[in-house]
A and B are shown apart, each in its own frame.
Chain A
Amino acid sequence: DGGITQSPKYLFRKEGQNVTLSCEQNLNHDAMYWYRQDPGQGLRLIYYSQIVNDFQKGDIAEGYSVSREKKESFPLTVTSAQKNPTAFYLCASRWLFNQPQHFGDGTRLSIL
């Protein structure tokens, strides 16, 4: 079954801790994206990658880091520098630039 898998579904972060959110896709999509959604808010772009070994900052990249070593995988690390990490994190991917983005089920991150 083709799709985008995000894990874990729920994650708790202690103060000063880095945590990594996983995103894997088997759709053979070139581009992958990370968004953050806060309650009642739209989606805000954190990072995106259009090809392997290349990624770009989005609108709210501070306190986050990513890697794109494989086409299928685009993990997001929420570092201790991100002081307000509580949010719903969504990973998306798309094939050609004009095609729709498709989303994983999301990871809900909270502070302990």
Chain B
Amino acid sequence: QKEVEQNSGPLSVPEGAIASLNCTYSDRGSQSFFWYRQYSGKSPELIMFIYSNGDKEDGRFTAQLNKASQYVSLLIRDSQPSDSATYLCAVNPNYGGSQGNLIFGKGTKLSVKP
């Protein structure tokens, strides 16, 4: 069973702090990794994707991938109340005929306090 695990939270951080969201995955052959943000009652919105080991930065967001440890994280710098949402980690396990299918974690709820 291919799995993606996230701490459900809630993770509470003060405004202006760094929020760190973590995700582990079970399939060592996984090739691509995605972070989605989902506001309450809305659909998921892609915010970052990463394919190679290391860091990838986009504005206030940094995705970090460590394939040896099967670990991917999302850092949000200078957190704002508008960042309060559930963050979904998704992994493409790339096996068999299901290439391109994503396995989603259950999400981490982030709350940024003014």
**Which residues of A are interface residues toward B (Cβ below 8 A)?**
31, 33, 40-43, 45, 48, 50, 56, 58, 90, 94, 96-106
Across the interface, do A90 and B32 meet the contact criterion of CB distance under 8 Å?
Answer: no
Give chain A residues whose Cβ lies under 8 Å from the Cβ of B102: 101
| Interface pick from B14-22, B44-52, B57-65, B77-85 | B44-52
Across the interface, do B46 and A102 meet the contact criterion of CB distance under 8 Å?
Answer: yes
Shortest beta-carbon contacts, A-B, top 5: A97-B100, A42-B106, A97-B99, A103-B43, A43-B104
Give chain B residues whose Cβ lies under 8 Å from the Cβ of A100: 34, 46, 49
Q: A50 contacts which of B44, B45, B100 (Cβ < 8 Å)?
A: B100
Within 8 A of A (CB), among B8-59: 31-32, 34, 36, 42-46, 49, 51
Give chain B residues whose Cβ lies under 8 Å from the Cβ of A58: 101
Give chain A residues whose Cβ lies under 8 Å from the Cβ of B104: 42-43
Per DSSP, chain B at the interface is loop
Given contacts A31-B100, A42-B104, contact A103 B44 (CB under 8 A): yes
Across the interface, do A42 and B45 meet the contact criterion of CB distance under 8 Å?
Answer: no
Across the interface, do A98 and B92 meet the contact criterion of CB distance under 8 Å?
Answer: yes
Query: Could you say which of A43, A103, A105, A106 has the most chain B C-beta atoms within 10 Å of its C-beta?
Result: A43
Given contacts A42-B88, A42-B107, A43-B88, contact A48 B101 (CB under 8 A): yes
Q: A27–B66 Cα gap in the complex (Å)?
A: 32
